[in-house]
Chains A and B, each alone.
Chain A
Amino acid sequence: MIWRIGIFLWIAATMAVALLAAPLVPVLQETTRVLYFHIPSAWITVVALGWSMLNSVLYLWRRDLRRDDHAAAAAELGFLFCIAATVTGSIWAKSMWGSWWNWDPRETSIFFVLLIYGAYLALRGSIEGEEKRARLSAVYSIIAFVAVPPLIFVVPRIYSTLHPDPIINTSGKIDMDPMIRWCFFSMLVGFTFLFSWLQSLRVRVFRLERRLAA
């Protein structure tokens, strides 16, 4: 209860300050606001992916179904945050650079992560039997992990040389006005707590479902 209210207040307060009081980044002008929820969303996408994959490995090692609960919950949440990041990013791209999608390195990476999440969730949805589902999705999660470094770091570079990138992707990260920096990091923290809370809720639901069916 305290957590729920605490997180809500934290994010609301940060958002209020960010929208009302924080100055605008010169390059971004009015679109500065997007960096308060677009980048944290992307951040959580990556955190969720890592947490999900880690728990997949742990499941195969220990065969503890609670690890599978965590992997599945993180994947679901990560998927949602990934959609949020992709969509907000696309809207930002449209208003900044005039087109919805550019195959810019970062856009490409987040889209690939979306595909991995989608495949993982589709796979889970088609397997019957708890242990089998946990085992097979863990296997997929681990092999997808091999694909992630190329997809995030290598392929986008190749794309950007094939399709010359007229836009330099900066988000003014390094030299930020202190107030912006505070709001931004505070949002990151707020989002992380939000994810962690949602994750614990989802895991608890999984556990209850299992106990109910037993």
Chain B
Amino acid sequence: MPNAASSSAATVWAILRKECRSEWRTRYGLNAAVLFAVTSLTAVTFSAGRMPDRPDLLAALLWITLLFAALASMSHAFVREMESRTLLLLRLVASPTEIALGKLLFNIAFLLVVEAITVPLFLVLTGAPPVRLTQFLTILGLGTLSLAASSTLVGAVIAQTRSRGALFAGVSLPLLLPVLASGVAGTRAQWDGMPILADVRLLAAYAVALLGVSLLLYDHLWED
């Protein structure tokens, strides 16, 4: 019998590749997400203007923009499966956890692409002071992990309800507030030259907890 974990990995990898190929073929998910992110970014930075000397506000606005971008784009991963009715196909070839992991990895990659465009743009438009790259990216990366983990689970839950779009943001928010708080605090700290260890630890612990618990729950999501 092949080793269970490595064979699961093969399935997860197949699902991840399928998601990427699907997104590449249609591309509407990514286009819409980037457009939304840039739009909200523009609205925020236009209204707030340049603020090179306000790291506290900069940190807050950056994370709010990221949060909105995630909330707007992350629900589509599972909603699309529901709408195209392909969830049955997935459930017949892979276990719920494997499906979820595949989607999670895709969501992380997706968010990273959106951030790669949005974050530099934000820094430029607000005239932000130079960032300490390692620290800044660590906070961003860990926050992205939590954003993706939460969005994947909530997306899977919401896809089975009647009022998807409106609900997704409201149901996600309580889960994402800790990310917001630590992300903002950590980003501000790296601009202030303060240590970020506490925030990093929090973000990491929270991401691990979210991931761990959500992986246990996926088996219960689809039973009809």
On A, residues with C-beta under 8 Å from B are 60, 112, 115-116, 118-119, 122-123, 126-129, 131-132, 135-136, 138-140, 142-147, 150-151, 154-155, 158-159, 161-162
A126 touches B161 (CB 8 A): yes
A143 touches B175 (CB 8 A): yes
Q: How many A-B residue pairs have CB under 8 A?
A: 92
A127 touches B160 (CB 8 A): yes
A147 touches B177 (CB 8 A): yes
B contact patch SS: helix
Q: Which residues of the other chain, A, contact B90 by a CB distance below 8 angstroms?
A: none
Q: Which of A116, A122, A126 has the most CB of B within 10 A?
A: A126
A60 touches B206 (CB 8 A): no
Q: Which of A116, A139, A140, A154 has the most CB of B within 10 A?
A: A139
Q: Does B153 sit at the interface, judged by CB under 8 A?
A: yes
On B, residues with C-beta under 8 Å from A are 56, 150, 153-154, 157-158, 160-163, 167, 170-171, 173-175, 177-178, 181-182, 184-185, 188, 202, 206, 209-210, 213-214, 217, 220-221, 223-224
Q: Which residues of the other chain, B, contact A129 by a CB distance below 8 angstroms?
A: 224
Q: Which residues of the other chain, A, contact B206 by a CB distance below 8 angstroms?
A: 146, 150
B224 touches A132 (CB 8 A): yes
CA distance A161 to B157 in the complex (A): 35
Smallest CB separation, A122 vs chain B (Å): 6
Assuming the contacts A119-B173, A150-B178, A162-B56, asked whether A126 and B157 have C-beta atoms less than 8 A apart, the reply is no
B167 touches A122 (CB 8 A): yes
Smallest CB separation, A142 vs chain B (Å): 6
Smallest CB separation, A15 vs chain B (Å): 33
Q: Which of B162, B163, B171 has the most CB of A within 10 A?
A: B171
